[in-house]
Amino acid sequence: MAVFGVDYSWGRPGVAALKRAGVKFACRYLSHDTSGKNLTRAEAEELSDAGIWVVVVWQNTKTGPLGGRAAGEADARNAARQAEACGMPDGRPIYFAADWDASASQQDAINAYLDGAASVLGRRRVGLYAGYGPMKRAFDAGKTTYGWQTYAWSGGRWDSRAQLQQYLNEQTINGAAVDYDRAMADDYGQWRVGVSPEGDDMPDYVSVGTTTEQRLAPGVWTDVNWETEYSDQHHQHWNQGGSSVLTGSARYSLTVGATVTGVPAGTLVQARVVEVNMDDTSNFEVGPIQDFVSVGDSTNLVYGLAADTVRANHRVRFQLVQHGTADAAVTSGSAKVFFWR
């Protein structure tokens, strides 16, 4: 998992409980509600003082974006006023929620709504909360700069452009209902009262993928190779393919998704990271192993490592092993590594 956060509405877990749970950011509401749903200045200050970042989303009704451009303009004005009162610095984005299974035929209204918000805030400050379909269509049309995608209505698909992912609902921290989120980019719209993120608060990241079929022999730990780069500003992967996704020394977190085919249902598949000595690749340290069970012809797995440290002169690689009796294959995958020097 990348950077762990939560969102909540009327419940208040409290900063002590959030910190115990490892929460790094909290997504909070702006709206016309007067019964306690909204972020307040006092709460923003409490979160900020505890070192927890804040992200804001406007949601007055679930289908508000169907109101088109005029609704987007009005909501953006109200959202900006409330966010400023809570201490949000100038220039930080606001997400706007499309909280239903929006169809393609409704996208024109959603896009017009985002146009209205952009006319007030500027396009670079406009974000969208939605499922996969409206999220992809809004990004493709250039209507949003930030994306907070929910797993609801997404069918297991993630748009790689979305900076935030809501991946699990109906959880509880300190008796309060929360949803689990993860930040997939260094800038996901976060702020503290009067403070924008910069420097060491924003990790660097590498994002790579593969669509090339790779053989998985039974019972053998096998490196997964990555031939596609989505982001690598610091040349950890060097646009040359291969298995290494990070060069130490660094603190890092890692998320990998992969599809394995050709393994009979019920077969154990395992995943791990290894930190390989660059001078002697036979010398490596093994990270946590996570177990998965094949569901049939095609199995999707997600491996997450919340925090680790790779030493200087070492590289991080991802490996799989399948415990069937015949060859299988990795047919696709993606890896995202956040790191701090």
Q: What is the pLDDT of residue 328?
A: 97
Q: What is the pLDDT of residue 14?
A: 97
Own/partner pairs, 10-15, CB within 8 angstroms, 24+ separation: 10/35, 10/36, 10/37, 11/175, 11/176, 11/177, 11/178, 12/43, 12/176, 13/173, 13/174, 13/175, 13/176, 13/178, 14/174, 14/176, 15/46, 15/47, 15/49, 15/50, 15/52
Predicted confidence band at 242 (pLDDT cuts at 50, 70, 90)? confident
pLDDT tens digit string along 313-338? 899 999 999 999 999 999 999 998 88
pLDDT tens digit string along 302-315? 998 877 888 888 99
Provide the mean pLDDT of the chain: 92
Q: Is the pLDDT of residue 1 over 50?
A: no
Predicted confidence band at 253 (pLDDT cuts at 50, 70, 90)? confident
Predicted confidence band at 239 (pLDDT cuts at 50, 70, 90)? low
What's the mean pLDDT in 160-172?
A: 95
Q: Do the two domains 3-201 and 204-340 of this chain adopt the same fold?
A: no
Angle between helices 107-121 and 68-85 (to 10 degrees): 40
pLDDT tens digit string along 120-144? 999 989 999 999 999 999 999 999 9
CATH for 204-340?
2.60.120.40
CATH architecture of the domain with residue range 3-201: Alpha-Beta Barrel (3.20)
Domain limits of the chain? 3-201, 204-340
- Look at 195-199, 276-280, 307-311, 313-317 and tell me which has the smallest mean pLDDT: 195-199
Integer Cα distance of 114 and 134 in angstroms: 12
